[in-house]
Amino acid sequence: MRISLFITCYNDTLFPETGKSVVRLLERLGHEIEFPLEQTCCGQMHYNTGYQQEAMPLMQRFVEIFKDAEVVCIPSSSCVAMIRDHYPKMAEATGDPGLIKAVDRLLPRVYELSELLVNKLGIEDVNAYYPHRVTYHASCHSLRSLHLGELPLRLLRKVRGIDLVELNEIDQCCGFGGTFAIKNGDVSAAMLSEKLRCVENTRAEVCTAVDNSCLMHIFGGLHRQRTGIKTVHLAEILASTEDQPSEDEAQS
């Protein structure tokens, strides 16, 4: 299958290893990866902070770039949620029948990574190896918008060598929420404190998720408390093998 990767601007800027891991994983599974160089942002940051008109050109750009893709893979549930939840009404607001039709045709081909693997490709065991004690944080968009449920956990349970431990209060937000963490700093910090307590109680070496935005927030707290617990995107664990360990694995 020819799979087009939308890495997301957040990952591209701050966490490029996630995108490289997606490529390594999907190529190992026998797929051809296409990476359109002209891709930028889905528009989520603009749209969620009140700049909805400014998000319009980004929506149109995404649709133009990926309209002919066989499948689009996105390692971020929040960006997929932005596209699924808001692109149809954004296209409708333009009054452009061609754009409305293009969005309608494209959306069924857009997948978050764990959705792509389990629901589209029918794979749970990706032959990964990751010999660490790991806990999984379910981001709000993965739970409440995409309804991923157990999909990431089903993939993690098949990883060889992993010691997967349940995170208490897994459905509770970490307190990030984009600019929520900036505009409501005290509330965000209190929510993060609860999440850190749950992560530390697992005695995990690594906390993983499908969104690097949450992981960055969680790692900030873990690092300041000098817990020694790392945060690693799901793609990096699934891409790791005995012969080709992930970058964090190779450095440990």
Per-residue pLDDT of the chain in tens (252 residues, 90 and over written 9)? 999 999 999 899 999 999 999 999 999 999 999 999 999 999 999 998 889 999 999 999 999 999 999 999 999 999 999 999 999 999 999 999 999 999 999 999 999 999 999 999 999 999 999 999 999 999 999 999 999 999 999 999 999 999 999 999 999 999 888 788 888 889 999 999 999 999 999 999 999 999 999 999 999 999 999 999 999 999 999 999 998 887 766 666
Burial classification of residue 25, based on how many CB atoms lie within 10 Å of its CB (0-12 exposed, 13-18 middle, 19 or more buried): buried
pTM here?
A: 0.93
Q: Which pLDDT score, from 0 to 100, does residue 112 have? A: 98
111 beta partners: 73
CA–CA separation, 141 and 120 (whole Å): 20
pLDDT score at 79: 97
- pLDDT for the residue 251: 62
Query: Which whole-number Å values give the CA distances from 233 to 151, 185, 212, in the listed order?
Result: 14, 24, 6
- Let me know if domain 133-249 sits in CATH 3.40.50: yes
Tokens 């209060």 map to which residue? 169
Q: Name the residue ranges covered by the structural domains of the chain.
A: 2-121, 133-249
Query: In the prediction, which pLDDT does 252 show?
Result: 61
pLDDT at 178: 77
Edge-to-edge strand ranges of the sheet holding 163-165: 163-165, 133-136, 206-209, 230-233
